[in-house]
A and B are shown apart, each in its own frame.
Chain A
């Protein structure tokens, strides 16, 4: 075991997988020599050479389209998009090819590839550096979308993503890249894709969150303890295909449901989760399933971003509303 941040966990996973499997390659803009703008790929080029860890031209379509070709021809590419806000030139590749290649070729060509992207707000960055766009990918058949919230899960999920025979979009919550450390095994293990985690058991309400908001919700839960509200917190971990069973079971127990996410509200992941809860646990509900999300307004630059940050106080306030409905 070793103490690691989420960022350390990304780096150690790539290192471990590259040492175990020579087919694994890592690349992106500034992701080679420098080790990425966040240093997530630091040291890999020095250890595995310029062939397996490399800088690409500033061209997202080439990064993702190139990864498609590499996967077809025997490699396991782990492509880094520097910030999720810059993925859009490659959106064509992801939607029209990455998601469809296996189906198009009737299983002849799997694409065992991972697209890593730092995402989410709260780091006082420039425009296009703060969005949460997981639903844009979760909507597309053929993709898997994963978001870890802890160093342990980061390593286990990224390992699972690299070993997965299908393409995985791996969003990294950059706001908490270095926020805290956790004991993480230094040997290989996997956290299964598609499985949520009950972070904390409770009986009054089920709250689902992921990424940076898992910790914020934990803080909210602490605030509510003195008010005697018992919250069951679920870290979704995989956005698609997501774990309906864990959520349904929990809601059947608590009778109340809140989903908290940074992404915009309309057509966001919360809409999907609430629909599912209505379909699977309608008769168990004692309050309308509710979402606390980013506003349907363009996420502001840093001087306005504080309005967009979903604080523990807001989460606690929303939980109370649902519980007291």
Chain B
């Protein structure tokens, strides 16, 4: 088993492509059909363009606080590409590329950062849970989803995302342990992007790896080059196979880097060096995957240029639609709190409506 071979306690890291895009070990190269590879690359590229533009919109005062994904596209797309339609995705809040791959609409994803709950209303068949802001709390939801899958004998796995900072949280511990003790079909992806706002990974734990936390739960954990979509793909495939066999959860630590700020409110130049950024910029997942795609004859500079232009237009058009949505109606604010609204809440709305009417609104 691959996961056992890459023991985090022995400092083994799974990689298929080196940072320049050369294959490290041909035996590890997954057999992914061309169509899927192209979808993976295109989604990563779309994620990048959407991310770049979201930051611009925010700087122009057109978008609210946004959490950039730049540099983490492979850790997301590589994972979701290894899933089936029936599998669940439980995001934290920095997984836009993965959500796009799973079928979420960009307009909707933008709506969330635009300040509209509509952005979290994914149609049930997408099997994407809403963005979860309280750190690591979503791991427990994912464990619960996986519990229900197992009990109802549904042939599906759940992938949960968490960051390096999230692994310090009690919610992470409780969720992973619950999944382990019940042998649940869960895959926990730790996007170790090295920073939790301004706090470096070294402050979160003195353990050498985050993957090794799995050892204490009695489950496998593996460190993967998170900027290598192929490595993330094969690790996820194997974790999924284990999960469906009833062997329980797996922790995959994706070694990646947040090339942008934590959110648009953050200034990373305060706490990290230019050298560090440069080191990771060279390890940008898009650089290596593009080379791999070109080497395979599936991509070219012309296609790249054309695709970026297409993405630019698509993202601009999408954001214009988002801007056209405006403010939320009063009734929308109230009507989803309960299935059936209680009387007092109705009274509160009506009082407020009376006031609005008195103001001539």
Contacts and interface: CB of A to CB of B under 8 A. Distances in A.
B128 to A, nearest CB: 10
B144 A194 contact: no
B121 A105 contact: yes
Contacts of B134: 92, 96-97
Interface of A: 25, 51-52, 54, 56-57, 59-62, 64-75, 77, 89, 92-93, 96-97, 101-110, 141-142, 144, 164-166, 194, 241, 244-245
B129 A61 contact: no
A68 B140 CA distance: 8
A61 B137 CA distance: 8
A69 B336 contact: no
> How big is chain B's contact interface, by range?
35 or more
Contact of B181 (A57, A70, A106, A244): A57
Contacts of A72: 129, 141, 144-145, 148
A92 B171 contact: yes
B140 A106 contact: no
A144 to B, nearest CB: 8
B285 interface: no
B361 interface: no
Contacts of B276: none
Contacts of A66: 140-141, 143-144, 147, 175, 178
Contacts, number: 150
B145 A73 contact: yes
Given A52-B151, A69-B143, A244-B343, 18 more contacts: A56-B178, A62-B175, A65-B143, A66-B175, A68-B144, A73-B88, A75-B151, A89-B174, A97-B134, A101-B130, A102-B338, A103-B337, A105-B130, A106-B121, A108-B121, A165-B339, A241-B344, A245-B343
Interface string B126-162: 0001101110010111111111111110100010000
Contact of B339 (A60, A64, A69, A110): A110
A72 B144 CA distance: 8
Interface in B325-356: 332, 335-339, 342-345
B170 interface: yes
17 contacts: A51-B151, A61-B174, A68-B144, A69-B143, A69-B145, A69-B148, A70-B147, A72-B141, A73-B149, A89-B170, A103-B336, A104-B130, A105-B117, A106-B121, A107-B121, A142-B337, A241-B345
A106 B151 contact: no
Nearest to B148: A73
Contacts of A106: 117-118, 120-121, 332, 336
Contact of B140 (A61, A71, A166): A61
Interface of B: 88, 90, 117-118, 120-124, 129-130, 132-134, 137, 139-152, 154, 158, 170-171, 173-175, 177-178, 181-182, 332, 335-339, 342-345
Contacts of A241: 342-345
A141 B345 CA distance: 10
Contacts of A64: 140
A110 B336 CA distance: 9
Contact of B174 (A62, A75, A141): A62
Given A70-B147, A104-B130, A65 B336 contact: no
Contacts of A97: 132, 134, 137, 141
A92 B137 contact: yes
Nearest to A27: B147
Contacts of B132: 97
- 8 smallest A-B Cβ distances: which pairs? A69-B144, A65-B140, A73-B148, A241-B342, A66-B144, A62-B174, A69-B145, A62-B178
Contacts of B149: 73
Nearest to A68: B141
Given A61-B137, A62-B175, A69 B338 contact: no
Contacts of B345: 241
A131 to B, nearest CB: 21
A57 B144 contact: no
Contacts of B129: 72, 109
A269 B129 CA distance: 34
Contacts of B150: 51
